[in-house]
Every structure is written in structure tokens, then in C-alpha cells.
């Protein structure tokens, strides 16, 4: 299995631009998590899905952030418009449903907004 696959690995964009981060889950996993990691705030849960349904999006910082899961294996996290304070590493992670844990993380997308 290739694991959780994220793209792009690095993204540099100008303030105000739209950014889309992509994630492919491990086959058979039904829970999908988006995390953001910064030095100041550590690893923060943004949103998670079970069986394509968003369960908790209370960690999404603002309306500028949105996440979708159009099918069982794929998710996107969109930031529009982006701001310099959004600069962070964004991780996607997945687990089998009901495991109560995050089993596998993707390699992350390092986002820099200038």
C-alpha cells in the first residue's frame, strides 16, 4: 500500500490567492483527518470525516478554510483567500473507522504564503 498521499509537497503562494491541498486515503480507511502544524501551536485538528461525512469542523480557523470529501478515497482542503498566517505544514491522515486513533499520516504539504 502506498500510504496516505498528499500533494503538493510544497506550495508557495501570494497572499490573496486560492490554495488547494489534496489527499488520497489508504484503501479501506474510512476516517480522514486534516491537521495543521506550526512551531507556535503544534499539531491542530482542523476537521475530520467518517465515511465521507464531516463530523467535526470546529478546528477550521475561519470561513476562508473549506474541506470536501467527494468520494471515499479523496479529500481536498481549500484556503481562499490565503494569508501569511496560514503558513504551516498541513497533514492529512487516515484510519479505519472506529479505531479511535490516527493510524497513518501523509507526508504533509508545506505551505508558505508571502
Binding site for another protein (CB under 8 A): 33, 35, 42-43, 45, 48, 55-56, 91, 100-108
The length of the chain, given as a count of residues: 114
Q: Smallest distance from the beta carbon of 96 to another protein, in angstroms?
A: 13
Helices marked H in 1-114: none
Minimum CB separation of residue 113 from another protein in Å reads 20
Residue 49's nearest CA partner among 29, 78, 64 is: 29
Three-state SS for 20-34 is EEEEECCCCCCEEEE
Nearer to another protein, 65 or 91 (CB): 91
> At its nearest, how many Å lie between another protein and the CB of residue 36?
11
Amino acid at each position: 500500500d502506498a500510504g496516505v498521499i498528499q500533494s503538493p509537497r510544497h506550495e508557495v503562494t501570494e497572499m490573496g490567492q486560492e490554495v488547494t491541498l489534496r489527499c488520497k486515503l489508504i484503501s479501506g480507511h474510512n476516517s480522514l483527518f486534516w491537521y495543521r502544524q506550526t512551531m507556535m501551536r503544534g499539531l491542530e485538528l482542523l476537521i475530520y470525516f467518517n465515511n465521507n461525512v464531516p463530523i467535526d469542523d470546529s478546528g477550521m480557523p475561519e470561513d476562508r478554510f473549506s474541506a470536501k470529501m467527494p468520494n471515499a478515497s479523496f479529500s481536498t482542503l481549500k484556503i481562499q483567500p490565503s494569508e501569511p498566517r496560514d503558513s504551516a505544514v498541513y497533514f492529512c491522515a487516515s484510519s479505519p473507522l472506529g479505531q479511535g486513533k490516527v493510524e497513518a499520516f501523509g507526508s504533509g504539504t508545506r505551505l508558505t504564503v508571502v
